[in-house]
Homo-oligomer: A and B are copies of this chain.
């Protein structure tokens, strides 16, 4: 609501973030510790994210399924790295009705176990491959510190799980899906994310390797926003996912998984929003245009309706705010809720044959002749806004991207401002942990196919193997 005060982003970023979440009615805390309620404004963004990603997944041949929420302990234990990675943070069901269970069940923190178990009992022949399954569902991780969208005990996500006859196919799938996440961030969310390989320390428990999509927030902190894992035959050997090949030999499948979550909503906020509230790129905004009639003259309302219909008939999501609030209140409400374009139509405007259009991202006002082709004008303006928001985020990312040749460089950067720090690395866990001592810096990703900066590890000075992006994380 317009009367909820939002802390300035530059004064207290963390408080600003939760203020925006609350003021824009995206989510609310609940009586369940660490779990949020996703409210209509927030859920509508998730629905649009789902629709766009789901369409893309299906175009690439994936199909949706739904596997059980609960995982028997013995099944989970079959893959040792997975259970070690997740056991500290799962919730356990120990009672069903009034009875203690013989075997406890965990609420899925991720579903490699269930998919592997399913595949193991259903795949027989090379003709059954590949299987390209995805599911949209809730998962639960027993986090200690939580924040709306960014980290909560329960969250919503999609998890793709695929199995393939060959290593090449599975690796191509792993790569393809991180590219989908990157495309989604760049083209839809207007977030210029970067992608690369996780170090062994940061990869998914049980994966041979993890590709990651990393976004940089306005304050310079990174957000992991989509990962794609290549498992090789690790799970297929642990769970026995075998098939008969063309020449009738018994083979293990190659496997991948990939996921994105409701935390992308948090990323959207932290990249684009401002002190007036939510700012949404037009392509992800559930409502793109609000028309606010000033006064209740019939002519004004008629024009509002006419424009509203025209826009909606041409795939622009528009609505008229006809509530009994004052125009000023409605303006503020449209602002805090991040509606990309605000159309103001008043009696005086009509006399001048003009309406006012205000962009949410720049607050820029445009006076538009009434007899303009309003659909084309609006579509163009929405696309301009989408591009400008991407460009602004890219400029910010570039401002907050640094290079470091040695630890003194790193410290000097971090004394001023966190961000993406490019630095060479020898590949040793020891040096990775040394970096963490500098205000918690972690490797975000290894950049692929990029030249080393100095050829020497930023920590130990020994020959470097990789150019790594380091940063703080949510």
Contacts and interface: CB of A to CB of B under 8 A. Distances in A.
A72 B37 contact: no
B65 A93 contact: no
Interface stretch (A132-140, A269-277, A335-343, A439-447): A132-140
A297 interface: no
Contacts of A452: none
Nearest to A103: B33
Given A40-B64, A91-B93, A32 B105 contact: yes
A43 to B, nearest CB: 5
A69 B138 contact: yes
A317 interface: no
Contacts of A65: 37-40, 43
Contacts of A105: 32, 91
Given A31-B117, A92-B94, A142-B96, A43 B72 contact: no
Contacts of A36: 68
Given A32-B71, A70-B154, A88 B97 contact: yes
Contacts of A32: 68, 70-72, 105, 114
A378 interface: no
Interface in A59-94: 63-72, 75, 87-94
A217 B157 CA distance: 36
A201 interface: no
A70 B91 contact: yes
Nearest to A39: B65
A409 to B, nearest CB: 39
A47 interface: yes
A30 B65 CA distance: 13
B96 A93 contact: no
Contact of A69 (B96, B98, B154): B154
A77 to B, nearest CB: 13
B93 A107 contact: yes
Contacts of A138: 69, 137-138
A124 to B, nearest CB: 11
B133 A40 contact: yes
A96 B106 CA distance: 9
Nearest to A140: B69
A44 interface: yes
A95 interface: yes
A68 B30 contact: yes
A95 B142 CA distance: 10
Contacts of A37: 65-68, 114, 118
A278 to B, nearest CB: 17
Contact of A31 (B75, B89, B96): B75
Contacts of A40: 63-65, 133
Contact of A97 (B72, B89, B122): B89
A156 interface: yes
15 contacts: A32-B68, A32-B70, A35-B68, A37-B68, A37-B118, A40-B133, A68-B154, A70-B154, A91-B96, A91-B105, A93-B93, A93-B94, A97-B142, A137-B138, A138-B138
- Which 3 A-B residue pairs are closest in the complex by CB-CB distance? A35-B68, A40-B63, A92-B95
